[in-house]
Amino acid sequence: MSIFGSMKTAVSGMSAQANRLSTVSDNIANANTVGYKAVSTSFSSLVLPSSSGNYNSGGVQTSVRQAISEQGDISYTTSAYDLAISGDGFFIVESADGTPVLTRAGDFSVDSDGNLVNSAGYTLMGYSYDSGVPAVVVNGFDGLVPVNVAQSGLSAIASTSAYFSGNLNSEATVVTDTTTLPSANTSSVTDDTQKMSLVAYDSLGATVQYDYYFTKTGVTTDASGAVTGSTWEVAVYRNADAATRGTTSFPYSSDAVSVSTLSFDADGQLTSATDTDIVDPTTAQTISMDYSSFTQLASDFSATGSADGQAASSVSSVSIDTDGVVSVSYANGTTKALYQIPLATVASPDNLTLLSGNVYTANGRSGVTVTGFPQTNGLGSIQSGALESSNVDLAGELTEMIEAQRSYTANSKVFQTGSDIMDVLVNLKR
């Protein structure tokens, strides 16, 4: 047995307990850090070769383990920009130098540019709705932009699509005189023509009312005389161009902005709809019409419809739902999606590389980063107005601290004893 060996073993033990105490102190210091994940020290023995009559003491080595996959408690706040993840996943945030990293710290607030930035200075990233409904890039961070909620002044959105749904009475009279069809724009329409109106919006947010006229124009039969199908004309005019004299809207001062043909089968189901787009030369916009939900049954005429877009209105609030969609609400009651916040994950979250600011990066042991939207492919949901607390257990950390102190003291006693034995050996010469 080597006395020097036992002393070195004691030094190894003291060093290991010092590392243990370091993780304890880090955990206690970050007990109130949002989204912080506790670290712990694991011990493994170092064994040196020994003979049958001589034992060589080895030592101990330590490794740090992270409890990143352990969910912290969720507490609710009064800020809609505070975000917590319930379940698996990480927010994708960007550092000041443009490097994307991962974090669970969702204590975001609005900076001077309107971006959502957490307390460590990292900017929340998401996909914009500017080019339509976003699609996630599963194996990278391409397409992500800072989530900006600076919405001031008035906002207007031009209509690009609209729909009508309902029922056209199959027992309506077929109008064969083309001069009395609404599309002729010559005189008052027949009693069998049904009229509805719909409001859309131009690029300035001004309302544009369109008048829709539904007229049955034909019936097809087979050799036995059974009805096999019917056709209807849908003529659309700008209400602003309607005649002001008399009791009828006809003639309009301009041609129809859309004339469509709806075809139905013998069961009253729509089989085709042609030339459905509204092309308005006054507002220079095209509105795609959807009539696909219309039926033609033996029942009274009924219809309901809506157009997208919005009138000029001020912003009243910004909200973030569980799917990560950031929406703005306007004073007139309409909403608009701005961004969708994705989440990222790795195969082994506990092996991520920890960086300052409570953020993580992927490495060879953690696996590659996979991105997806909340509540898809095993990812958790986002809770607005909430924060994930640190998962540090203070009682457990204090216990760890006492154990580390005791073990360090015991190892120091081994070292002290070895030193005393060395003194005895040295004194034998005197």
DSSP state of 411: H
DSSP state of 299: S
Topology of domain 159-308, CATH: Tick-borne Encephalitis virus Glycoprotein; domain 1 (2.60.98)
d(CA 30, CA 38): 8
Give the chain's mean pLDDT: 89
Tens-digit pLDDT profile for residues 181-208: 899 998 777 778 899 999 999 988 899 9
- Confidence band of 246 (pLDDT split at 50, 70, 90): low
pLDDT at 328: 86
Distances in whole angstroms, Cα of residue 80 to Cα of each of 104, 107, 109, 322, 419: 16, 10, 9, 12, 63
The torsion angle over the Cα atoms of residues 210, 211, 213 and 214, rounded to 10 degrees, is: 60
The contacts of residue 354 (CB under 8 Å, 6+ apart) are 39, 66, 360
Query: Does the pLDDT of residue 121 top 90, yes or no?
Result: yes
Alpha-helix runs per DSSP H in 89-160: none
Query: Does the pLDDT of residue 311 top 80, yes or no?
Result: yes
Question: Could you state, in order of their start, the residue ranges of all structural domains in the chain?
Answer: 3-70+391-427, 76-149+350-388, 159-308
What does pTM read for this prediction? 0.67
pLDDT at 244: 73
The torsion angle over the Cα atoms of residues 175, 179, 181 and 184, rounded to 10 degrees, is: 160
Long-range CB pairs of 350-353 (<8 Å, 24+ gap) are: 350/65, 350/66, 350/67, 350/68, 350/69, 351/66, 352/66, 352/68, 352/102
Tens-digit pLDDT profile for residues 154-181: 778 899 999 999 999 998 999 888 888 8
Tens-digit pLDDT profile for residues 285-300: 999 999 999 999 999 9
Report the range of poorest mean pLDDT among 288-297, 373-382, 414-423. Answer: 414-423
- Confidence band of 381 (pLDDT split at 50, 70, 90): very high
pLDDT at 232: 94
pLDDT at 211: 93
pLDDT at 95: 93
Query: Does the pLDDT of residue 313 top 60, yes or no?
Result: yes
Query: Does the pLDDT of residue 52 top 80, yes or no?
Result: no
User: What's the mean pLDDT in 42-62?
Assistant: 79
Tens-digit pLDDT profile for residues 6-43: 888 888 889 999 999 999 999 999 999 999 999 999 88
Q: What percent of the chain has pLDDT over 90?
A: 61
User: Count of CB atoms within 10 A of residue 398's CB?
Assistant: 12
- Confidence band of 152 (pLDDT split at 50, 70, 90): low
pLDDT at 1: 54
Name the token pair of 23: 């993780």
pLDDT at 430: 64
Query: Does the pLDDT of residue 45 top 60, yes or no?
Result: yes
pLDDT at 315: 77
